[in-house]
Amino acid sequence: MKELDPLVFLAVFQEMLGPLLWLMLLVIIAGTAAFIALLVKEKSINSKRLVRAELAGLLGGVLALVLMAKVSSSGFTDAGGPADWFLIALVFGLGLIGTAVLVYTAIGWRKPAANG
């Protein structure tokens, strides 16, 4: 495979996740838009809210790993080389960041910045 084709990735993810892929993409797009709107509205990052969101992100990273293990045919004991461990770390990191952004956004829209 000499070139990366996004449609191949889409087909693989559709096969692995099924309808969950489209739900996840919808949450990513809506969550990102809500996060950007919150940043525009507040014009700053609330540090107390950010710490709470980062703590929740740890759980999101673990849940991303659980989802990865469920949709793939291999488990964590099958990881052999550095590329496997890099992919596991990448999945955890993306789950952590995504969850942190969604939690920060949800708390921000639920509570005013002075209280949040």
Q: What is the pLDDT tens value at each position of the chain, 116 positions in all?
A: 577 788 888 888 888 888 888 999 999 999 999 999 999 999 999 999 999 999 999 999 999 999 988 888 776 677 778 888 888 899 999 999 999 999 999 999 998 666 55
pLDDT at 70: 86
The domain limits of the chain are: 6-110
What's the number of CA atoms in the CB half-sphere (13 Å) around residue 92? 10
pLDDT at 69: 87
Residue with tokens 């991303």: 64
pLDDT at 72: 81
